Structure 1
Amino acid sequence: MNTLRAWSLCVLFASGCATAPVPREVPPVPGMAELDAEVERAMAATGAKGLALAVIDNGRVVAARAYGARNAKGDPLRTDTVMYGASITKTVFAYLVMQLADEGRLDLDASIARYLDRPLPDYADEDRYSTWSHLADDDRWRAITPRILLTHSAGFANFGFLEPDGRLRIHFNPGSRYAYSGDGIILLQFVLERGLGLDVGAELQRRVFDRFGMRNTSLRWRPDFARNLADGWKTDGSVEPHDERSTVRAAGSMDTTIQDLALFAAALARGEGLSPRALAEMTEPRLRITTRSQFPTLQDELPQEQQRWDLAAGLGVVVFDGPQGRGFFKGGHNDSTGNTLVCLPRGRRCVLILANDVRAEAAFPRLTSFVLGEAGVPWKWEYGDKAFWTGR
């Protein structure tokens, strides 16, 4: 076990850092009439045109609801309407990776170099992946492992093309700190596909979507999705058509529905398809998060005395401690999409929100606490200085 990981497991969320709160009683799931009324209030207050919400209790989907419109024509958003999964794709991909680790096909702590037949920078640049050749003068890529990629600690920016010169680079020693990176997830996809010979889209279809009956979910656009498809609304109220993503990208190409993705969330809450060890690896703290907020990605770390003791990277999720004990979550966002998945292992409870209007994000803290009770989700870290709707 490396020094950083040992420090993380010994210190994170332990009494040596701070005293964890005594978990509160698990509150009951609200009635559907009360939930409908609360969502309608939230949409009226934020101006959001469409929102879908699911509730998981004891590892089972107990509600999947859709509200508002799916497009500018006013066609209703339904529970089987295809919506953009955005970065929750990363959590579904992490589930696949943990299955491969369970099967002994992937060592989470091995260098990615073990799985490639030549040095990473020697691979030709491809639009589907990224520009690995930019790392030719930095041998630190050999220190990158699957675990480092899933904890967003490779040292990359979110995407190399966002760098001032458009070149992918390593900004700090891999594994030393958290900095969110879609390119890190794409690199792990590359390792699975080139190193293990897997088709990630096909593996997810077989291992997840087919297994859990997710009939309207795919990492690649399907023409039949057009029959019942959600467009999105931006902050200025303009409409953005749904993007037909034709390339499998583990960082965020998933199309899905609220009823489909709720089935995955429930399975994850139950730990179905993973060994207890793999589930714990994924959903427990692995690397302390030391920044004020998630974005911008490459921001300075806070002084140690200002860092949160209760916030860490899991594998494909972010882990926190709150009034109801340990929890984990993952968000998803673009100009016209706001998604969140929040789960509390105690009670195997989750709330999943998919919004085809980014303005709905302002209501996520209120709606989540309405369903789960106060959980201590680090919303300000996730969204920075965004103003939230309080319901008052």
Structure 2
Amino acid sequence: MPTLTPCAWPRRAATLLLLAFALSGCVQTPVISPQPSVHAQSLDDTVRLAMAATGTRGLALAVVDDGQLVFTKAYGVRNASGDPLQEDTVMYGASLTKAAFGYLVMQLVEEGKLGLDVPMANYLPQPLPSYASPDIVRRYSAFAGLARDERWRRLTARMLLTHSSGFANFYFLEPDQQLRIHFEPGSRYAYSGDGLILLQFVLEQGLGLDVGAEMNRRIFAPNGMSRSSLIWRPDFRPNLADGFTLDGLPEPHDERSRVRVSGSMDTSIADMGLLAASYVRGDGLSAAARAELTRPQLPITTRSQFPSLQPTLATTAFPSLGAGLGVIAFTGPQGAGFFKGGHNDSTANMWVCIEAKKRCLVMLSNDVRAEPAFPALVRSILGETGLPWTWEYGDMKFWSPEP
């Protein structure tokens, strides 16, 4: 079966081009994008089996090979009306936003604007708990809850990006809806969206940056990601994906009115493929900074990712698992890799990369029921990666094409 690569030139066109160069006395080899191990019919069959078995209404895939985007395709529908999901349909990025934000932060670190291990307190003109206005709480978090715990002064960008701040996922999950520190900062992993929100707050209130504008200028625009933003844009509406819940009920797309680096990114599968390619290549970063993004910097010793403040295990079930800067690093049969998931009640996303071959798969679904199929889809395209799926999804029963 022939290998499919929509981003490569057709063989016949390449042959004709070579002939034209030969006739002109200037023979050159045309540059053709490297071909991934993606076989069109086989992949289509697997995706359709997965969607039928799980009830998934919409799913989009992007494949990166050798650091180049080589394949994108959308399947199913984008809404309850049955409009087709397309490669440029705007979908909810959810927590893939965190990985994109980490990429931005490393650019700022390389430019000397921010230090990974400098306390956040050093960048703020006043103590963090004093930022307590209703507008600050609405836009960021309830920082006043930290007034009786001086450990906030030790929080660094590295701690926030590796989810080791000690915060719950969000302040509003606390009984009194006040942010608090549950363990010694930097000592262990516990997923926290509010940790990244604090870093956004420091960049905006301490350094005077507009994070939404910086993401557009540094990440989206240079990569041609014209359908991506951290805040709602009216031009998204004509080709927009609504979501579907576990019960199969439609959920209207949320028009995000605030930049939230924990998860407000709208994007498309075409754009996410471009981002994954740029990220794995390390565009805009030195080799050392690119390596730092996905280096396992903090061992992960919990049974699963959620609930976020669960007890740690005496002996970790996943010895190769570690927190990178906005992503999770692991080691499997193909060597080092990293991943980031995204989830809400009507969204299921996953981004997986293998470092050695700069190969990635991005999956965006506007139906949360797609998640049980993700391990099989990753294996069908990237091979066995060793990604610890039970840590990411807990006790979920996964789908397999094999009986």
- Length-normalised TM-score, structure 1: 0.92
1:269 to partner: Cα distance? 1.1
Q: Which residue of 2 aligns with 1:62?
A: 70
Give the 5 Å matches for 1:32-43.
32-43=40-51
Q: Choose which of 248, 260, 269 in structure 2 pairs with 1:258.
A: 269
1:298 to partner: Cα distance? 0.3
Q: Which residue of 1 aligns with 2:324?
A: 314
Give the 5 Å matches for 1:201-350.
201-304=212-315, 306-350=316-360
1:119 aligned partner, one-letter code: P
Any idea what SS the aligned residue of 2:223 has? coil
Q: Which residue of 1 aligns with 2:56?
A: 48
Any idea what SS the aligned residue of 1:330 has? strand
- Length-normalised TM-score, structure 2: 0.89
Q: Which residue of 2 aligns with 1:107?
A: 115
1:314 aligned partner, one-letter code: G
C-alpha distance in structure 2 between counterparts of 1:135 and 1:367, whole Å: 43
Tell me whether 163-172 or 140-149 shows the greater mean CA deviation.
Answer: 163-172
Which of these two proteins has the greater Rg computed from alpha carbons? 2
Any idea what SS the aligned residue of 1:362 has? helix
1:378 to partner: Cα distance? 1.0
Q: Which residue of 2 aligns with 1:352?
A: 362
Q: Choose which of 67, 72, 76 in structure 1 pairs with 2:80.
A: 72
Give the 5 Å matches for 1:183-198.
183-198=194-209
Q: Which residue of 1 aligns with 2:394?
A: 384
CA deviations on 1:66-102 (whole Å, 9 max, x unpaired) are: 0000000100000000000000000000000000001
Any idea what SS the aligned residue of 1:210 has? helix
2:240 aligned partner, one-letter code: L
C-alpha distance in structure 2 between counterparts of 1:235 and 1:94, whole Å: 30
C-alpha distance in structure 2 between counterparts of 1:325 and 1:115, whole Å: 38
CA deviations on 1:11-43 (whole Å, 9 max, x unpaired) are: xxxxxxxxxxxxxxxx96121222111111110
Larger RCO: 1 or 2 (CA < 8 Å, sep 6+)? 1
1:166 to partner: Cα distance? 1.5
The answer as to 2:375 corresponding to 1:365 is: yes
The answer as to 2:121 corresponding to 1:121 is: no
C-alpha distance in structure 1 between counterparts of 2:318 and 2:78, whole Å: 39
2:192 aligned partner, one-letter code: S
Q: Choose which of 139, 147, 155 in structure 2 pairs with 1:144.
A: 155
2:69 aligned partner, one-letter code: V
C-alpha distance in structure 1 between counterparts of 2:73 and 2:290, whole Å: 28
CA deviations on 1:238-271 (whole Å, 9 max, x unpaired) are: 1100000010001100000000111000011111
1:109 aligned partner, one-letter code: D
1:96 aligned partner, one-letter code: L
Any idea what SS the aligned residue of 2:363 has? strand
Q: Which residue of 2 aligns with 1:12?
A: none
1:163 to partner: Cα distance? 1.2
1:341 to partner: Cα distance? 0.2
Q: Which residue of 1 aligns with 2:21?
A: none
Any idea what SS the aligned residue of 2:72 has? strand
Q: Choose which of 144, 155, 174 in structure 2 pairs with 1:133.
A: 144
1:140 to partner: Cα distance? 0.1
CA deviations on 1:293-326 (whole Å, 9 max, x unpaired) are: 000000000113x442110000000000101000
Contact 2:36–2:70 under 8 Å retained in 1? no
Unaligned runs of 5+ in 2: 1-34
C-alpha distance in structure 1 between counterparts of 2:215 and 2:174, whole Å: 31
Contact 2:94–2:342 under 8 Å retained in 1? yes
Any idea what SS the aligned residue of 1:211 has? helix
1:382 aligned partner, one-letter code: E
| 4+ residue runs over 3 A deviation | none
C-alpha distance in structure 2 between counterparts of 1:36 and 1:308, whole Å: 32
1:72 aligned partner, one-letter code: A
Q: Which residue of 1 aligns with 2:210?
A: 199
CA deviations on 1:84-126 (whole Å, 9 max, x unpaired) are: 0000000000000000001111010000011000110011232
1:30 aligned partner, one-letter code: V
1:164 to partner: Cα distance? 2.0
C-alpha distance in structure 1 between counterparts of 2:209 and 2:41, whole Å: 46
C-alpha distance in structure 2 between counterparts of 1:235 and 1:114, whole Å: 45
C-alpha distance in structure 2 between counterparts of 1:275 and 1:33, whole Å: 39
1:139 aligned partner, one-letter code: E
Unaligned runs of 5+ in 1: 1-26
- Count of equivalent residues: 365
C-alpha distance in structure 2 between counterparts of 1:90 and 1:350, whole Å: 17
C-alpha distance in structure 1 between counterparts of 2:36 and 2:56, whole Å: 27
